[in-house]
Each structure stands twice: as structure tokens, then as C-alpha cells.
Amino acid sequence: GQQLNQSPQSMFIQEGEDVSMNCTSSSIFNTWLWYKQEPGEGPVLLIALYKAGELTSNGRLTAQFGITRKDSFLNISASIPSDVGIYFCAGHRHYGGSQGNLIFGKGTKLSVKP
């Protein structure tokens, strides 16, 4: 079935450092989304990208929809302790897919040292 390759699997960084993570796929998606999950909570949507090449920012977060429609990255600038959590990418197809047309990556676990 369809898969998203998300990397890195985990990151241990110092407060203040920038973070970069990405997702790639062999399939084309119409929408790329990035979610964050904190301990004991469900994932929460951070950024949604709807057009190839789109670059969107949300505070210290920046995400891009790859021009080939097969990849996306998420950057976090000047990390702070509350950035800790698991970050998931997700690709959505408008039709023709399974799983409700939505595929999730396996997540990037971010740990931040004060």
C-alpha cells in the first residue's frame, strides 16, 4: 500500500536550535499536512498545504509542499521546550485512495534540552 517515509525518526536538540524534518512518497498527493502530538493528547493540525510549491508559515513553523507533489518538509526555528512532541506528516488524495484518502507518516519524535 501507499507509504510515507518520514525522517528523522527522532531528534534530540538544544533549545534555540532550528529543526528540519521531511516526508517523501512514491505517490502524488493533493494536500500535505503536518500534525503535532503532545503526550496524552491527540494530534493537532499545525499547517496544511494545498498547492505544489506552496510555502506556508505559522509562527516559528514553516512548511513546503514539494514541487513534484511527492514530498514536504517542516522547519521549526529557534526551538523552545514546548516544541517537544511527535510530529506527523500526512498526505491526502482527493480520490482513488484507501484509508479515507489520507496517509500518515510514522512520526518524528522531537526532544528539546533546555
Partner 1 sequence: GAGVSQSPSNKVTEKGKDVELRCDPISGHTALYWYRQSLGQGLEFLIYFQGNSAPDKSGLPSDRFSAERTGGSVSTLTIQRTQQEDSAVYLCASSLLTSGVGELFFGEGSRLTVL
The site for partner 1 (CB under 8 A) is made up of 30-31, 33, 35, 40-45, 48, 50, 88, 90-92, 94, 98-102, 104-107, 109
Q: Pairing state of beta strands 31-37 and 85-92?
A: antiparallel
Q: Measuring CA to CA, how many Å separate 12 from each of 23, 45, 47?
A: 19, 22, 22
At 45, list the grid cell.
493540525
Nearest to 103 by CA among 85, 88, 91: 91
At 16, list the grid cell.
534555540
Q: Which is nearer to partner 1, 18 or 57 (CB)?
A: 57
Distance of closest approach, residue 94 Cβ to partner 1, in angstroms: 7
Distance of closest approach, residue 17 Cβ to partner 1, in angstroms: 23
Q: Which is nearer to partner 1, 68 or 99 (CB)?
A: 99
Distance of closest approach, residue 27 Cβ to partner 1, in angstroms: 14
| Cα end-to-end distance, the chain, whole Å | 40
Q: Which is nearer to partner 1, 39 or 114 (CB)?
A: 39
